[in-house]
Amino acid sequence: MKTMNGNSLPRAIEFSNNGVSDSLTGAPAPKTFFDNLAREISQSQRNSQTISIVTMKLLPKYRDAKKLKITLPKYSDQSNLEFEKDLSITSNCIKSNMRGGDFYSRLAENGFWLCIQGNLEEATKAANRIDVKITERLKNLSGDSRIEFTFSEWARNCDINNWIKVVDTQFFFESVGKASK
């Protein structure tokens, strides 16, 4: 831990990967997610299937979601450790409650993206199913975090890069969707 004027500084929330998986949560790395997404979109185009992206933003309870910036502020080491534990629990719940063919990644310091084979209604059902498990686990352990979701369905005529920009903007700036407690 770095020190400044004799005071220890809180460490940042861990967010790194080895190209295969996130070092904290074990979630697949972003490159894996985007490679899988490109294949899924290509297959969706050929088979006239729908896919959606659900973003899950984990927010510390002590933060106002509307004021969340791109990165989390640096709180005490204990707060960061508790939040990292919540991130790991969230990742495990996502992994164990996803349907075959769906996939996810940790794409931000405090959040995950899920690719769901299906329309927005199916994506919402999947997110609700996962949310129930996460909320149950977090409530039993720390109770200090909550989740906000955004939903986006890929339109067949939409440019992939533009769609990713829309999803990214929703994730970082437009807290829409259900927030669990």
Tell me the per-residue pLDDT of 106-129, one tens digit each, with 9 for 90 and over. 998 889 999 999 999 999 999 999
Spans in the chain with pLDDT lower than 50: 1-10, 63-73, 176-181
Tell me the CATH architecture of domain 25-180: 2-Layer Sandwich (3.30)
DSSP 38-90: HHHHHHHHHHT--EEEEEEEEEETTS-GGG--SS-----HHHHHHHHHHHHHH
**pLDDT value of residue 3:** 33
Whole-model pTM: value is 0.78
Q: What are phi and psi of 169, to 5 degrees?
A: -60, -45
**pLDDT value of residue 10:** 47
